Chains A and B, each alone.
Chain A
Amino acid sequence: MRRLICLAILALLASPVAAQNIVKIGQIEAQTGANAIYGYMSSQGLALAVDQVNKAGGFQVGGKTYTIELIASDTRGDPKEASIQLKRLLETDGVKFVFGPFLSNVFVTIEPYAKQFNGKFLLMGGATRIHDFLGTPDHDFLLRSWNWDAGPKGFGNLMVDRLVKETGAKKIAMLFQNDQGGKVLVDIYTPLFKQKGIDAQLELFEPGTKDFSAVLAKLAAANPDFLFPSYSDAHLYDIVRQATEGNYFRKFFLVRGSLGPGLKNKGEIDDYFVYVPKYFEEAEKTDPKVAKFVADYKTFYKRDFPYDQAPLCSSSCYDHLFMLIEAMKKAGSVDDVTKIRKELLSMTYDGLWKIRFDERGEEIFNFDIVRMKRAGQISVTSVDAQ
């Protein structure tokens, strides 16, 4: 009798149970940590998109229905942790599509390893340093899911142009972290400012710094028109507070980070000029897709919508999953990464953002420039970067 039961169990296990068609998607982002602003919203948005796709019954490619399995762990912005996670995703989980990273220091650490899998997977991340590797040999796996700062259509270029036209700024003080992200911003913006005739002064600080008084005082001594600080809200809150309290700066120019530090100190700020991929507070009122996304988020996560962090869902987030699915459908395959990449590069997707990739695999999308003046008066300019 016992033998019969064992045989029956073995037969059941061995029988061709209808295999579930699953597409695995990995994500390596900082969901927590000092730089979590560059990963939290991506992880939130992607998980929501996956849930929506699966609840709708999946998607069809080549006559088969597929659902998505999302494998996302928190890297905490730690390059070592991200390396371990990527290795597990590619070697153990057999993932062919990885979303992230948004952090340059993480990307430069994982790049040598990821390169070994060129042609076997796609990595779609927003890290600024990805730009330098796009279109280079053995890097067909790379796509950069964020606007590039420089170049004629670069958002940084447009921001600096506006800064000059609207404020007449002649001198700017740059205060960045002494890491990969900070250094790449120096490399981008120093020549940009020089081109526009703006005198730029630079100081770097160690990540983990909390008291910025000395360096702010040093920068302020040269009487610059604007302070151009950091790239992470974790530092921006301290910098903006200390800059205004110490009466060192009341005008800020930002191409990374959120409106949050400005809003917290709005009574002390004269001008807060910030690149915001989308000003959700206003977009929610005018764009039905945005309003639906906000409502879906609140329903799914059962909490308030994080307006200050939502703009960072412009990278490897909600829209990108639907883009990827559309590319798979057009390619007629869920695992031929070469065909899928080709389709991604040829499409324009109109979701929360209007997104397309250029010939090298770098994203171009429409964005907002938000200007906050005294007492929190906000004006928003939408820019069509296409």
Chain B
Amino acid sequence: MSQLLVGQTLNGVIVGTLYGIIALGVTLTFGITGIVNFALGEFMMIGAYVTWYLFDIVGLPYPVAILPAVAIAAGCGFVADQLLFRFTRNNLINGLLVSIGLISIVEAGALLLWTTTPKDMGYVLSGAFRMGAVSVPRMKIVVFALLAAVMFLTYASLSRTWIGRAAYAFSQNPEAAMLMGVKTEILQSGVVVYSTALAGFGGALYASLYSLEPAMGGLYILKGVEAAILGGIGSLIGSLAGGVILGVTEAIGSIYLPSAFRDAYGLVFVVAILLYQPSGLFGTER
């Protein structure tokens, strides 16, 4: 049983980083633009499908296929920002409505292009790393390492570079940041594009682990928002922590309780934490 617990904790951590990358996008977008971008799951889906297409159909090596996938997701994010999101800055309701509308449009496009029949990408790295009875697929370890690295690099960039300080300054006091010379429009658009690039990157890695469907983004944005709330909206490390805690809770919950209700275990945990700490585990009360 202990090996089962160890194995599933590790699996939960890995799955949780996929939630965490979306949560990071949610947190960044909310902190700088004041809206929750529910369409981030669709950008994850775009990244996944482009990766599948470039790897399976065109035949590009996987690491090469990821780059255009992320670029295309980011490009779509830029277009969405310029046409839609920039008119909804700091308007939570409008931003919500626009992002939900965008979900329908992007999903319909995916349905037209690829239909609802799942696509199963060829294996990038097969086999597993074994420690006794605990077995962790090699590709999952790679996915975890890459996602964690990107999240820490994002955190490091934001805390140690000028643009990061500008972003923090803007999130604390937009008027003062503007007066100090921060180009706020560029900053906000930049953050939206970066968060969609993160989602696209998450999607590219997701494609190496699981089969793809146009509706896949819906589950991950919900998990991303849960993780962002759990970790504390506005906290970058909280995004990763929230995702990991959610992933582990679901995995361990499925071992002791019926697996049919796996999604509920994470939610129950989130509610329990929020009752005790309303701003989330790493969030600060405003």
- When distances are taken between beta carbons in the complex, the residues of chain A under 8 Å from B8 are 213-214, 217
- When distances are taken between beta carbons in the complex, the residues of chain A under 8 Å from B258 are 203-204
Our pick among A34, A211, A213 for the contact of B116 (Cβ within 8 Å) is A34
In Å, the complex CA distance between A234 and B4 comes to 26
Number of B residues near A (Cβ < 8 Å) is 37
- When distances are taken between beta carbons in the complex, the residues of chain A under 8 Å from B128 are 245-247
B82 within 8 A of A: no
Q: Are A76 and B116 in contact (CB under 8 A)?
A: yes
Our pick among A210, A213, A238 for the contact of B11 (Cβ within 8 Å) is A213
**If the complex has contacts A214-B11, A237-B118, A264-B120, are A246 and B137 also in contact, measured as CB distance less than 8 A?**
yes
Q: Are A237 and B120 in contact (CB under 8 A)?
A: yes
- When distances are taken between beta carbons in the complex, the residues of chain B under 8 Å from A209 are 262
Instruction: State the Cβ distance, A30 to closest chain B Cβ, in Å.
Output: 8
**If the complex has contacts A205-B260, A234-B211, are A245 and B127 also in contact, measured as CB distance less than 8 A?**
yes
Q: Are A214 and B118 in contact (CB under 8 A)?
A: no
In Å, the complex CA distance between A206 and B260 comes to 5
B115 within 8 A of A: yes
B90 within 8 A of A: no
Q: Are A36 and B117 in contact (CB under 8 A)?
A: yes
A377 within 8 A of B: no
Looking at the complex, which of B38-46, B195-203, B247-255 is the stretch in contact with chain A?
B247-255
User: Which residues 198-219 in A have Cβ within 8 Å of B in the complex?
Assistant: 203-206, 208-211, 213-215, 217-218
Instruction: State the Cβ distance, A174 to closest chain B Cβ, in Å.
Output: 12
**If the complex has contacts A211-B15, A217-B7, A218-B4, are A246 and B135 also in contact, measured as CB distance less than 8 A?**
yes
In Å, the complex CA distance between A382 and B7 comes to 41
Q: Scan A227-256; emit 1 where CB is below 8 A from any B CB, else 0.
A: 000000110011001100111100000000
Q: Are B213 and A34 in contact (CB under 8 A)?
A: yes
- When distances are taken between beta carbons in the complex, the residues of chain A under 8 Å from B210 are 210-211, 238
Q: Are B251 and A214 in contact (CB under 8 A)?
A: yes
**If the complex has contacts A213-B11, A214-B8, are A247 and B130 also in contact, measured as CB distance less than 8 A?**
yes
Q: Scan B261-272; emit 1 where CB is below 8 A from any A CB, else 0.
A: 011000000000
Number of A residues near B (Cβ < 8 Å) is 33
B215 within 8 A of A: yes
User: Which residues 217-243 in B have Cβ within 8 Å of A in the complex?
Assistant: 219
Our pick among A178, A213, A246 for the contact of B260 (Cβ within 8 Å) is A178
User: A-side binding surface: helix, strand, loop or mixed?
Assistant: mixed
In Å, the complex CA distance between A237 and B122 comes to 11
Most central of A209, A217, A237 by chain B CB within 10 Å:
A217
**If the complex has contacts A210-B211, A214-B262, A246-B135, are A221 and B127 also in contact, measured as CB distance less than 8 A?**
no
Most central of A214, A217, A234, A238 by chain B CB within 10 Å:
A214
Instruction: State the Cβ distance, B217 to closest chain A Cβ, in Å.
Output: 12
Q: Are A217 and B255 in contact (CB under 8 A)?
A: yes
B172 within 8 A of A: no
User: Which residues 169-214 in A have Cβ within 8 Å of B in the complex?
Assistant: 178, 203-206, 208-211, 213-214
**Residue on B with the closest CB to A76?**
B116
- When distances are taken between beta carbons in the complex, the residues of chain A under 8 Å from B57 are none
B259 within 8 A of A: yes
In Å, the complex CA distance between A95 and B128 comes to 54
Q: Scan A48-90; emit 1 where CB is below 8 A from any B CB, else 0.
A: 0000000000000000000000000000110000000000000
B1 within 8 A of A: yes
14 cross-chain CB contacts under 8 A: A33-B117, A36-B116, A77-B116, A205-B262, A210-B211, A210-B216, A213-B11, A214-B250, A217-B8, A218-B259, A234-B211, A237-B118, A237-B211, A245-B127
15 extra A-B contacts, CB within 8 A, seeds A234-B117, A234-B211, A241-B123: A76-B116, A77-B116, A204-B259, A206-B263, A210-B209, A210-B210, A211-B11, A214-B12, A214-B255, A217-B7, A217-B11, A221-B4, A246-B136, A247-B128, A247-B135
